[in-house]
Amino acid sequence: MTNTKDDVICYCTGTTKEKIKELIAQGIHDLDRISRETGACSGCGSCDAEINNFLAEHSSGA
Ligand code: FES
């Protein structure tokens, strides 16, 4: 699958929403773990809130 610009949730690391969905499917629901797995939020940190929202939307309560 090709990633479009819209799929990227963390621009510093190029982490895509699709990648985060994969991790959620593996039972990883918290920003800490997501960050460790992907590097997301390890740059400017401005994606933090967006990733949290995405997690809240896509995980059923963790
Ligand atoms: S956009 Fe995710 S750390 Fe900068």
Question: Number of folded domains in the chain?
Answer: 1
3-state secondary structure at position 4: coil
State pTM to two decimals: 0.83
Q: Find the 47 Cα to ligand 1 centroid distance in Å.
A: 5
The protein residue with its alpha carbon nearest to ligand 1, atom 4, reads 44
Q: Find the 26 Cα to ligand 1 centroid distance in Å.
A: 22
Q: What is the pLDDT of residues 1-60, one digit of tens each?
A: 555 656 999 999 999 999 999 999 999 999 999 999 999 999 999 999 999 999 999 987
Q: What is the pLDDT of residue 62?
A: 46
The protein residue with its alpha carbon nearest to ligand 1, atom 2, reads 10
Q: What is the pLDDT of residue 4?
A: 61
Q: Which domain, by its residues, includes 19?
A: 5-58
> Relative to the CA of 13, which ligand 1 atom is closest?
2
Sign of the CA dihedral running 4, 53, 20, 41: positive
With contact defined as beta carbons under 8 Å apart, do 7 and 18 qualify? yes
CATH of the domain at 15: 1.10.10.1100
